[in-house]
Amino acid sequence: MLDVTSEHRKVALFGGSYNNWKATEAVLADAKRRGCDGVWFLGDVGGFGPHPDRTAEVLRSAELGLVQGNYDDSVGSSREDCACGYTDPRDNHFAQISYDYTLANTHAEHRAWLAAMPASARIRVGEKTVHLCHGSPRQVNEFLWESTTPAGFVEHLCNRYETDLLACTHTGIHWERRLADGRGLVNVGAVGRPANDGRQNVWYAVLEWVDGRVRTELVPLEYDWEAVVAEMRAEGLPEEFVETLATGWWTTCLEILPARERVAGRF
Amino acid sequence: MRLSMAWLDTLWLQVTGTVCNIACRHCFISCGPKVRKHDYMTVEQCQAALDSAKSEGLRAIWFTGGEPFLHPDILELMDAALEVGPLGVLTNGMLIDDALAAAIGERFRNAPYNLEIRVSLDGCTAEQNDRIRGKGVFDAACAGLRRLAENGVPALVAVSLVDDDAMDQARLVEVLTGLGLERPRIKWIPAFRIGREERRGRGYEAWEMLTPEDVAHPETPHRLQCGTSRTVTSNGVWPCPILINEPDFRLADSLDAALGPHRVDHKACYTCYVEGFSCST
């Protein structure tokens, strides 16, 4: 097992910046305002937003822990695609547009930084261990959706990785499942795009040691999405991506949603 | 040539074995109304497999056959599976009447985990579909899809790519939208050149085989569905749903004893490998 990297009373966990540098700035400010004594980023710096270097700069100038996402591995190693694991041709079409844009606009120095991120990390919150990963602890691009991640599987992962809590991102929709014994899994959502719920805000998580247990708060985060939308249009990024930030509904990468999560969205 | 599993997280239950209400000309396990090579599984057999798989880290359950909705206890089986994890049911859709569609809809909305219903359709018209699946099948499957949609269940449609005149995707989307599926989802399935399909189309060529280098590659357990799943029938355990009529590929009586390295030197393994195909959605 990995060594514990840091210890916290109250820690902010976020992931999926997807080049949304405004939201990345906002989450760092919000965590500070809430009195968090640490911040961890769970991966995917790049994605469908504008100016990839800006998010890299925001993250690199902040004091925070890092876990690598599939996007970071791909961009860091200049691979051919984002390795998001899509099978649908339309999803892959749009995923390739954002990937090619991100790769072309990420400075070599930032690519080296992305490539060097660790695949996972372990922290302590109070007396409990939290295993941090991007998709799942066993696979960087495994999707852990609420409707397809049963309690028995969460228990299996907690046993296998000898942890009280698991924290992940990758799907872009936040949720949490606790077992009867208090162990569990929290998907912290993403700050780079809204949660396909018709609202423009994005999500992250705050874990706090309170009364002998780790309390999880899934935090809705407002940010200046209109500024990001303007930049995306100026960069000539697809209007489908713009629409997602402006409306809160996903328009691409939909085929990977389980049926239950899919019917909750508009498209 | 044998492959070691990465882990077991997907369980296929051949709940109605090889018993089906139709006999498609491309069926790779040659199912039909009187084909009892693999019989119905009992509720106890299904529960035992679910229990074993759960302790291994199960995260997906699939019912197939044959036609799963022929099973007299299908709703009980669905409930048992949905207690453990997300469930997918592979069906021809023909037996989904109003009452069954309502029962499926209720489970789709309220079960602890996701329920996916996947309906097979091999053409945009009765003429295209029924030459493979049988007379009257297109209309009955469409009626099932419509009833599911009426009950809020967004069925996924599985299409076999067995003929050279490829399916017109835009036309299919139109057909499905017309049935009330607001956001049609389609899964394309390559031809497995065994069973009836070997006679209908062609068999495999001698060179269509995995190589030892393919099998040794560290990504292969994630590229082949048998790297993370097992299939249980009334007759025992196999690596995947495709090979259940191959006695040499049978692994064990029970799931617990079937988790060791398994053979991947069947011709059909080649299709999964080159297509990156999984029976899962």
Judged against a pLDDT cut of 80, whether residue B177 lies above it is answered with: yes
Q: Between B126-133 and B137-150, two packed helices, what is the crossing angle to 10 degrees?
A: 110
Residues 6+ apart with CB under 8 A from B256: B52
Distance set, CA B99 to CA A10, B30, B75, B143 (Å): 51, 29, 12, 13
Looking at the partner chain, which of A150, A156, A262 has a beta carbon nearest the beta carbon of B86?
A: A150
Sequence-ordered alpha helix ranges (H) in chain B: 43-56, 74-84, 98-110, 126-133, 137-150, 169-178, 196-200, 212-216, 220-223, 267-275
Annotated domain spans of chain A: 4-264
Report cis status (omega within 30 of 0) of the bond before B66.
yes
Do B87 and B100 meet the contact criterion of CB atoms below 8 Å apart? Answer: no
The CA distance from A98 to A75, in Å, is 11
- pLDDT single digits (tens) B130-171: 999 999 999 999 999 999 999 999 999 999 987 756 678 889
- Per-residue model confidence (pLDDT) at position A255: 84
Distance of CA B202 to the CA centre of its chain: 22
Closest-CA distance, A140 to chain B, in angstroms, reads: 13
Average pLDDT, chain A: 96
CATH class name, domain A4-264: alpha beta
Chain A residue closest in CA terms to B85: A150
Q: Which residue of A has its CA nearest to B113?
A: A147
Distance between CA B251 and CA B258 in Å, rounded?
Answer: 5
Residues 98-117 of B with CB under 8 A from A: 108, 112-116
Q: How far is CA A234 from the centre of its chain?
A: 25
HSE (side-chain half, CA atoms, 13 Å) at A105: 22
Residue in B54, B108, B185 nearest the CB of A255: B185
pLDDT in tens, A95-128: 999 999 999 999 999 999 999 999 999 999 999 9
Query: B202 CB contacts (<8 Å, ≥6 apart)?
Result: B193
Candidates B56, B112, B183; nearest CB to A267:
B183
C-alpha span between B114 and B122 (Å, rounded): 25
Number of CB atoms found within 10 A of residue B253's CB: 12
The encoded tokens of residue B232 equal 């249980």
Strand-pairing partners, residue B229, are: B10
Which of the residue ranges A183-192, B60-69, B135-144, B159-168 would you say has the lowest mean pLDDT?
A: B159-168
Site from A147, A168, A196 to mutate, B interface, most B CB atoms within 10 angstroms:
A147
pLDDT at res. A86: 74
Residue range A123-159, pLDDT digits in tens: 999 999 999 999 999 999 999 999 999 999 999 999 9
Mutate to test the interface with B, among A156, A171, A253 (most CBs of B within 10 A): A156
Tens-digit pLDDT profile for residues A242-251: 999 999 999 9
Buried b (16+ CB within 10 A) or exposed e, A181-202: eebbbbbbbbbbbbbbbeebbb
Residue bearing tokens 């090619």: A100
pLDDT at A199: 98
- What does the pLDDT look like over B114-138, one tens digit per residue? 999 999 999 999 999 999 999 999 9
Which amino acid, one-letter code, is at A22?
A: K
- The CA distance from B65 to the nearest CA of chain A, in Å, is 22
Q: Number of helices (H) and strands (E), helices first, in chain B? A: 10, 10
Nearest CA in chain B to A261: B114
Would you call A147 and B114 a contact, using CB atoms and an 8 Å cutoff? yes
Average confidence score pLDDT of chain B: 95
Interface of A with B (CB under 8 A): 138-139, 145, 147-150, 152-153, 156-157, 160, 254-255, 258-263, 267
Search chain A and give the residue with CA nearest B60: A148
Helix axes A239-247, A89-104, angle to 10 degrees: 90
pLDDT in tens, A196-223: 999 999 999 999 999 999 999 999 999 9
Residue B108 in tokens: 């789709």
Task: Flag whether pLDDT at B238 surpasses 70.
Answer: yes
Q: What percent of chain A has pLDDT over 70?
A: 100
Percent of chain B's residues with pLDDT above 70: 99
The better pLDDT of the pair B195, B165 is held by B195
CB contact under 8 A, B59 and A139: no
- pLDDT score of B57: 96
Tell me the per-residue pLDDT of B14-27, one tens digit each, with 9 for 90 and over. Answer: 999 999 999 999 99
Domains with residue ranges and CATH for chain B: 2-275 (3.20.20.70)
Q: What is the pLDDT of residues B88-112, one digit of tens each?
A: 999 999 999 999 999 999 999 999 9
